Structure formats: structure tokens, C-alpha cells
């Protein structure tokens, strides 16, 4: 099983319940295809760098998961069919990225924080 990170930008007109049900749909998809969820991180409403479908904001969601490599093509098809998804991106994580994400989640300094001068 490989480690992956998926970022999805949902349309900003979703209600809170629709946003959560859309997230659950993809979590269930990963689990039903033999994967396991490592971490979920809903960022919420953020501004987009450029308008997408005449929208200037989007609901961001990041999911880190472990899954067989053949699952990503099926997942991509599901994401492209979903009208609530503005953009999506799946990235394969190497061992250093997995270690970095684990440190970041646990609060350990990763070495790239800005030095705060007092």
C-alpha cells in the first residue's frame, strides 16, 4: 500500500451538511476499496487564486490515506463526475513527506517555521 494525499476544492455554495456528506462519500470510497484513512483536515472556506466557474472562494479539504495504487484511477473518475468538486489533486507521498506530515500533526518542529523575533 502506498501513501497518498488528496486535496479537493468543493464549491462554496454547499451547506455544512452537504460539505460533510461529500467528505464522507470519499472516505467511504477509500475504505471500501481496501484503503485506510491516515488523517482528515477540512480547511474550510478559502479564497481562490483565480476564479473557477465564476467562483472566487472554495471549501478546501485535505485527506491523507494509504491505499493500493489502482484505487487512484477509480477515485479520479468519481471526483471528475462530482459537480460539487471544483478542483482535485492526488499526490503520492514518499517516506520523507509521510514523516513530515506526522511531525506536523504531532506539533514537533519541522525546521521550516519562521523564526519569531522578539
> Residue 83's domain is classified under what CATH number?
3.30.70.60
Residue 111 in domain = no
C-alpha distance from residue 101 to each of 30, 34, 81, 95, 105 (Å): 19, 22, 29, 10, 6
Residue 91 in domain = yes
Query: For the chain, what is the domain count?
Result: 1
CA dist., res. 31 & res. 75, Å (int) = 12
Residue 45 in domain = yes
Can you list the positions of beta strands (E) in the chain? 2-10, 36-52, 55-67, 85-93
Residue 112 in domain = no
C-alpha distance from residue 16 to each of 13, 45, 52, 56 (Å): 9, 11, 21, 18
Residue 116 in domain = no
Residue 23 in domain = yes
CA dist., res. 60 & res. 38, Å (int) = 18
Containing structural domain, residue 62: 2-106
Cβ–Cβ < 8 Å for 65, 6: yes
Q: Over the range 3-12, which residues count as b (16 or more CB within 10 Å of their CB) and which as e?
A: bbbbebbbbb
Band (7; pLDDT cuts 50, 70, 90): very high
Q: Does 99 have pLDDT greater than 70? A: yes
Residue owning grid cell 466557474: 53
Give pLDDT tens digits for 59-90: 999 999 999 989 999 999 999 999 999 999 99
Q: Does 118 have pLDDT greater than 50? A: no
Amino acid at each position: 500500500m502506498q501513501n497518498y494525499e488528496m486535496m479537493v476544492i468543493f464549491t462554496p455554495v454547499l451547506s455544512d451538511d452537504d460539505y460533510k456528506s461529500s467528505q464522507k462519500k470519499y472516505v467511504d470510497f477509500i475504505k471500501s476499496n481496501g484503503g485506510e484513512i491516515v488523517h482528515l483536515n477540512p480547511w474550510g472556506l478559502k479564497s481562490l487564486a483565480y476564479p473557477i466557474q465564476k467562483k472566487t472562494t472554495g471549501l478546501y479539504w485535505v485527506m491523507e490515506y494509504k491505499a493500493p495504487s489502482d484505487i487512484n484511477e477509480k477515485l479520479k473518475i468519481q471526483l471528475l463526475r462530482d459537480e460539487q468538486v471544483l478542483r482535485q489533486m492526488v499526490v503520492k507521498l514518499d517516506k520523507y513527506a509521510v514523516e513530515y506530515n506526522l511531525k506536523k500533526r504531532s506539533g514537533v518542529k519541522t525546521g521550516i517555521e519562521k523564526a519569531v523575533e522578539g
